[in-house]
A and B are shown apart, each in its own frame.
Chain A
Amino acid sequence: MYPTDLKYTKEHEWVRLKDGEAEVGITDFAQKQLGDVVFVELPEVGRKLTQGEVFGTIESVKAVSELFSPVSGEVIAVNGELGSHPETVNAKPHDAWMVRIKPTNAAEADSLLDSAAYGELTK
């Protein structure tokens, strides 16, 4: 049920690894838990993150949650669209990327969950 081309964290982020970049968002499960997303706070481009580090926060009307980086690396882009349309996270969670990271340690991806394992986690 969760896209098989993505990897997942136990904290409910997904990561799409392609062309040497990592695109990061939150899962459908996470957006359902949060409810209507009203605000996404994202880091500045150029920020260096280590795996598991908080890179932003996401707010719904009733909850707030931290966003954890699935991989180490440098932020090379943030999705400014989410500033004016945070509801995209609810509508298309697996397309609504938040940051693009240039990973510094490709091996880290191995520690992430695949679609089946994440599906099991959220059962």
Chain B
Amino acid sequence: MTTAATSTGAEYGSDTFESRHIGPREADIERMLNVVAAPSVDALIAEIVPADIRLPGALPLAPAESEFAYLRHLRALASQNQVWRSYLGYGYHDTITPAVILRNVFENPGWYTPYTPYQAEIAQGRLESLLNFQTMVSDLCGMDVANASLLDEATAAAEAMALFARVHKRAGATTFVVSPDVFPHVRQVIETRAVPLGIHLRFEDPATAEFGPDVFGVYVQSPDDHGRIANLRSMIDRAHGAGVLVAVGTDLLSLALFTPPGEFGADVVVGNAQRFGVPLGYGGPHAAFFATRESFVRQSPGRIIGVSVDSKGRRAYRMALQTREQHIRREKATSNICTAQALLANISAFYGVYHGPTGLIDIARRVHDQASRLAAALGRLAWTETNGVFFDTLRLTGAPERAAEVRRGAEARHINLRYPEAGIVQISLNETVSEADLADIVAAFTPVGSTPPALGAPGTTPAPGGELGRQSAFMTHPVFNQHHSETEMMRYIRGLERKDIGLDRAMIPLGSCTMKLNAAAEMMPVSWPEFARIHPFAPVAQTTGYQQIFAELEDALGRITGFPAVSLQPNSGAQGEFAGLLVIQAYHRARGQGQRNIALIPQSAHGTNPASAAMAGLSVVIVACDDRGNVDLADLRAKAEKHRDRLSCLMVTYPSTHGVFEGHIREICAIVHEHGGQVYMDGANMNAQVGLTSPAAIGADVCHLNLHKTFAIPHGGGGPGMGPIAVAAHLAPYLPGHPVVKTGGASAISAVSAAPWGSSSILLISYGYIRMLGAGGAANATRIAMLNANYIKARLEKHFPVLYAGNNGRVAHELIFDMRPFKQQTGIDEQDVAKRLMDYGFHAPTVSFPVAGTLMVEPTESEPIEELDRFCDAMIAIHAEIQAVADGKADRQDNVLKHAPHTAEDVSANEWTHAYSREAAAYPVHSLRASKFWPPVSRIDNPYGDRNLMCECPPIEAYQSAD
């Protein structure tokens, strides 16, 4: 048997990363095996994973590396990246991350380890911060509401198109007009998304385009790809007059000075909030924003934070309007997107809190002033600025023969400028630019031997005026105007953090989410400047370190999945699904089988699968599951046969969403192949496969990998994520390309993400995970994840029925507890148990997925036996509390479960009217006396929040009345 600390080279003795990543100690494993009644971990695994899909030997990965050796290695790779001053624009700008935010948010597990705030009572801190983000964005954009971020600017633009396609009132209109002057990556992602939806794109200047009856919407950018700022009023008025909706891509910082698109009448405003304090990271992660009118909010994509009240009438935050999302609406969802960019949205929100409106105007004015003075100085060198009205970006026309000299001059000074056409140079400035940097740019433009012209004095540029100058106030809410000293800021950040449960506090046993350790050594390099301060479109020659990491990571993920080719581009699992399906469709088309457009999806699938299929233009046909939760083979065969000429693919999660290794998986894949289809494997449950079996071994053709699950990228409180796809050789030619930086196969599909390698900087985390674990450690992580799950099953199955198990009564890496019998008997339901766990200091398991009325638990390999026991003890104690209701010893309504969670305020109030004691409410088990988490609010009223929708910071009066 392989256990912790045996499977690795030992340059630094027995202190291996594996022994730190995996929770249970060697002696614990013996005890756990006794409890689960298995003679060894190997024997347990043999009972769980079908023999016909087991890998014959160890994964062909490099030996494990200690943390110290890994960080030394990464330092060497970092030094191969060159951090030039990049003034490339494209919606990405270097930024100053305030140190108080870097240390207390970006590098703080209290902020980066929590999950998406579905359990709102223990997520009030980040919900408040995300509400700040929404308020900041909607204020700056001049719109009614903003969502809590999207993956990147390009997908946000595509989502605007999709929204318009849903809500427009021009019957039969299918044309979307896109300005030719939008960023090239934005344009391409819009194209990628339009084609499968049957939307016809017309690339034409909206100012002069004809809005005939076929046109339903417009996408325009200001500042545009050149840096021009336009007065959009007459165009938008004309569009609205014709019943056409308008989306505007913009730059958030520019809106501190310039009239926001919302005030010109835009229906949707999108962009990238990156320059609000989020490092470039060679492409991400960053938070894109999406703001719209109140009337479109129910049709909007992504997560929206709203204000509600708790059971005591206190103000409380929650995710609003969740019925829009794919987990409920499936193929009819507004979008397939699940992951947002919560951590990055929070960083941008804190940047807004830290600077406030005055600080933002100051930064914007400085950047604008620098750009203006630079334009004047370069004018004296015979370079003509052609944008006219600009914020930070100059488009300079000069003699073509001079442009080559400028480029040499800039490169000699380690400056990246943009050279879009012969004789044209484009420069986008940012808040990091110093006077010395400006002088360097001027010097690069100055002919050798000449004296550079002087720059005008700083602060001499007037603020933009006229109809383009912003007159309206923004971010007037107190939160943006009172935390401006570092002391205040630190306390605000930490105060919010303390309201939330992350992995720094307790196990987060969310099934299907794989909340494993996000190790410090994996995380640290993400904020090193050699990785953080690189522009996504910097020349590849400057990113040798990154390129080596990508190549090694692709190779390792290929070996783990058994597939020869990998694309790192998709920014989330959902985007990976979309990319994988497009790759399958491209393959069918290349073989003259373009009519194949049906996706078979088992009933038990996650809602994202049908939502992605719909987005990829596929029709969804549901395959039944049998009463054990497995794919019904007869039904699969019948449907594959019925649709044999149109079958595109099967989307299947393995092990299943029920946490079971279906024994017939190879047969399932074979049936699909026999009927001309491809098999897409959803990699959500890859944590039960690594090193033991693989997507290739089960017979799949393509899969995505949720790097934020299996490969240790933290969940960030609701994003970032990464969803690379791995494919069999016949699909490799179609892996996604990119319009600015070459990626993908020979017949690449168009880009699915804004950046060529998605959120590059967090790929380091998965790279570190694999390098430090090595083949043995990675496989052992899988084995212990399954041991932990079966240990919980063994301890709790006497108390709570386990819904599905494999042939030997074993579960894989997660398990479902059925709460429905208790509801029938006592009225206590899964929500009551979820909320009661908060009183015990835990985040709830996954509620009502994949089966309504259940709780799904996934402990991961990282949780030690002490924490598993603490969780099991809590569940057993809760079972006794339910039993008390069943026995009539506790009231059906007035009991510890129905009123959970209990706040400190409620428990310490002078008045206590419940039928149970304060001690039973707050300290039901002894261990809580040593460490108690107090939920900051009691049970949140969900219907109230959705009926009285409010998606920005409540006005100050609301705070006063709440006090």
Residue on A with the closest CB to B848?
Answer: A62
A59–B947 CA distance with the chains assembled, in angstroms: 10
Q: Is B329 an interface residue (CB 8 A)?
A: yes
In angstroms, Cα B324 to Cα A41, docked, is: 13
Please name all residues of chain A whose beta carbon is closer than 8 Å to the beta carbon of B328 when the two chains form the complex.
62-64
> Interface extent on B, as a size class?
10 to 19
Beta-carbon contact of B329 and A87 below 8 Å: no
Given contacts A36-B942, A39-B298, contact A60 B323 (CB under 8 A): yes
For B942, the chain A residues whose CB sits under 8 A away are 36, 61
* Chain B residues positioned under 8 Å from A39 (CB to CB): 298, 946-947
**Inter-subunit contact A61/B946 (CB<8 Å):** yes
Instruction: Decide if A86 is an interface residue (CB 8 Å cutoff).
Output: yes
A52 CB to closest chain B CB, in angstroms?
A: 18
A37 to B947 CA separation, bound complex (whole angstroms): 8
A39-B298, A61-B942 known; A86 vs B323 contact (CB < 8 Å):
no
For residue B323, which residues in chain A have a CB less than 8 angstroms away from its CB? 59-64
Interface string of B933-949 (1 = CB under 8 A from A): 00000000011001100
Alpha-carbon distance A60/B944, docked complex (angstroms): 11
B542 an interface residue at 8 Å Cβ cutoff? no
- Are B947's CB and A38's CB within 8 A? yes
Contact of B943 (CB < 8 Å), options: A41, A64, A87: A87
**C-alpha spacing A86/B945, complex, angstroms:** 13
Say how far A74's CB is from chain B's closest CB, in angstroms: 18
Who on chain A is nearest to B943 by CB? A36
1/0 per position for A31-75, CB-CB distance to B under 8 A?
Answer: 000001111010000000000000000011111100000000000
Select the residue from A36, A37, A86, A87 with max chain B CB neighbours within 10 A.
A36
B322 within 8 A of A: yes
CA distance A62 to B848 in the complex (A): 10
Are the C-beta atoms of A86 and B322 separated by less than 8 Å?
no
CA distance A37 to B946 in the complex (A): 9
User: Of all chain A residues, which has the CB nearest B298?
Assistant: A39
A70-106: contact bitstring with B at CB < 8 Å (1 yes, 0 no)?
0000000000000000110000000000000000000
Please give, as numbers and ranges, the residues of chain B lying within 8 Å of A36 by CB-CB distance: 942-943
Whether A38 contacts B329 by the Cβ 8 Å rule is: no
Map CB proximity to A onto B908-952 as digits: 1 under 8 Å, 0 otherwise: 000000000000000000000000000000000011001100000
Minimal beta-carbon separation of A25 from chain B (angstroms): 18
- Residue in contact with B322 in the complex, picked from A41, A61, A87, CB distance below 8 Å: A61
Q: Which residues of B contact A60 (CB under 8 A)?
A: 323, 943
Check A38–B943 contact: CB distance below 8 A: yes
- Which among B298, B329, B946 has the greatest number of chain A C-beta atoms within 10 A? B946
Given contacts A39-B298, A59-B323, whether A64 and B329 have CB atoms under 8 Å apart is: yes
Is the beta-carbon distance between B329 and A86 smaller than 8 angstroms? no
Contacts of A37 in B (CB 8 A): 943
Interchain CB contact under 8 A, B946 and A62 = no
Max count, chain B CB within 10 A of own CB: residue among A37, A39, A61, A63: A61
Residues of chain A within 8 A of B298, CB atoms compared: 39, 41
Q: Are B946 and A38 in contact (CB under 8 A)?
A: yes
Q: How far is the CB of A44 from chain B (nearest CB, A)?
A: 10
CB-CB < 8 A to A41: which residues of B? 298
- Tell me the bound Cα distance from A86 to B947 in angstroms: 8
Report the separation of the CA atoms of residues A60 and B942 in the bound assembly, to the nearest whole angstrom.
10
Chain A residues, CB < 8 A from B848 = 62
* Nearest CB on A from B194, distance (A): 25
Which residues, 287 to 335 on B, are CB-close (under 8 Å) to A?
298, 322-323, 328-329
Q: Specify which chain B residues have a CB less than 8 angstroms from the CB of A64 in the assembled complex.
A: 323, 328-329
Asked if B947 and A62 make an inter-chain contact with CB atoms under 8 angstroms apart, the answer reads: no
- When distances are taken between beta carbons in the complex, the residues of chain A under 8 Å from B329 are 64
Chain A residue, CB-CB nearest to B947: A38
Smallest Cβ distance from B853 to chain A, in angstroms?
A: 11
Residues from chain B with a CB closer than 8 A to the CB of A87 are 943, 947
Q: How many Å lie between the Cα of A36 and that of B946 in the bound state? A: 10
Determine the chain B residues whose CB is within 8 A of the CB of A63 once the complex forms: 323, 328
With both beta carbons as reference points, the residue of chain B lying nearest to A90 in the complex is identified as B943
- A62, B849: Cα distance in complex, Å: 12
- In the bound complex, how far is the Cα of B249 from the Cα of A100, in angstroms? 42
For A86, list chain B residues within 8 Å (CB).
947
- A25–B328 Cα distance when bound, in Å, is 23
Q: For the complex, what is the distance from the CA of A9 to the CA of B355, rounded to whole Å? A: 59
* Nearest CB on A from B538, distance (A): 45
Contacts of A38 in B (CB 8 A): 943, 946-947
- Beta-carbon contacts of B354-380 to A below 8 Å, as 1s and 0s? 000000000000000000000000000
Q: How far is the CA of A62 from the CA of B942 in the complex (A)?
A: 9
Q: Shortest distance in angstroms between B288's beta carbon and chain A's nearest beta carbon?
A: 26
**Distance to closest chain B CB from A91 (angstroms):** 12
- Chain A contacts for B946, CB-based, 8 A: 38-39, 59, 61
A36 and B948 alpha carbons, distance in the complex (Å) = 13
Cβ distance B660 to chain A, nearest Cβ, rounded Å:
25
User: 8 Å CB contacts to A: which residues of B124-178?
Assistant: none
In the assembled complex, the Cα of A39 lies from the Cα of B943 at a distance in Å of 10
Q: How far apart are the CA atoms of A62 and B323 in the complex, in Å?
A: 6
Chain A 6-45 interface mask (CB, 8 Å, partner B; 1/0): 0000000000000000000000000000001111010000
CB distance from A37 to the nearest CB of B (A): 8
Task: Kindly name the residue among B322, B323, B329, B942 whose own CB sees the greatest number of chain A CB atoms within 10 A.
Answer: B323
Taking the nearest CB of chain B, how far is it from the CB of A97, in angstroms? 19
Residues of A within 8 A of B322 (CB): 61-62
A34–B223 Cα distance when bound, in Å, is 46
Q: How far is the CB of A88 from chain B (nearest CB, A)?
A: 11
**Alpha-carbon distance between A63 and B298 when the two chains are bound, in angstroms:** 14
What separation, in Å, do the CA atoms of A59 and B329 have in the docked complex?
Answer: 11
A77 to B942, CA, bound (A): 30
Give every chain B residue within 8 A of A61 (Cβ-Cβ).
322-323, 942-943, 946
- Chain A nearest Cβ from B16, distance in angstroms: 45
Task: Look across to chain A and name the residue whose beta carbon is closest to the beta carbon of B942.
Answer: A61
Chain A residues near B943 (CB, 8 Å)?
Answer: 36-38, 60-61, 87
Distance in angstroms from B647 CB to nearest chain A CB is 27
Q: Which of A41, A59, A86 has the most CB of B within 10 A?
A: A59
How distant is the Cα of A39 from the Cα of B306 in the complex, in angstroms?
15
Q: With A and B bound together, what is the CA distance between A64 and B299 in angstroms? A: 13
What is the CB-to-nearest-CB distance from A102 to chain B, in angstroms, rounded to a whole number?
Answer: 23
A80 to B322, CA, bound (A): 23
B399 to chain A, nearest CB (A): 61
Shortest CB-to-CB span from A64 to chain B, Å, is 4
List residues of B (261-286) whose CB comes within 8 Å of A's CBs.
none
> Can you list, as one digit per residue, whether each of B34-47 has a CB less than 8 Å from chain A (1) or not (0)?
00000000000000
Nearest opposing residue in chain A for B318, CB measure: A61
Residue of B nearest to A85 (CB): B947
Cα separation A60 to B323 with both chains bound (whole Å):
8
Chain A proximity of B133: nearest CB distance (Å): 23
How far in angstroms is the closest Cβ of chain B from A85?
A: 8
Q: How many Å from the CB of B453 to the closest CB on chain A?
A: 62
Q: From residue B819, how far is it (CB to closest CB) to chain A in Å?
A: 15
A48 CB to nearest chain B CB (Å): 14
CB neighbours of A62 from chain B (8 A): 322-323, 328, 848
* Assembly CA distance A87 to B941 (angstroms): 13
Q: Which residue of B lies closest to A59 (CB)?
A: B323
Instruction: List 30 contacting pairs A-B, 8 Å CB cutoff, sorted by A.
Output: A36-B942, A36-B943, A37-B943, A38-B943, A38-B946, A38-B947, A39-B298, A39-B946, A39-B947, A59-B323, A59-B946, A60-B323, A60-B943, A61-B322, A61-B323, A61-B942, A61-B943, A61-B946, A62-B322, A62-B323, A62-B328, A62-B848, A63-B323, A63-B328, A64-B323, A64-B328, A64-B329, A86-B947, A87-B943, A87-B947
Known: A61-B943, A62-B328, A64-B328. 8 other contacts (CB 8 A): A36-B942, A37-B943, A38-B946, A59-B946, A60-B943, A62-B322, A87-B943, A87-B947
Chain A residues with CB under 8 Å of chain B are 36-39, 41, 59-64, 86-87
The 3 closest A-B pairs by CB, nearest first: A36-B943, A38-B946, A61-B942
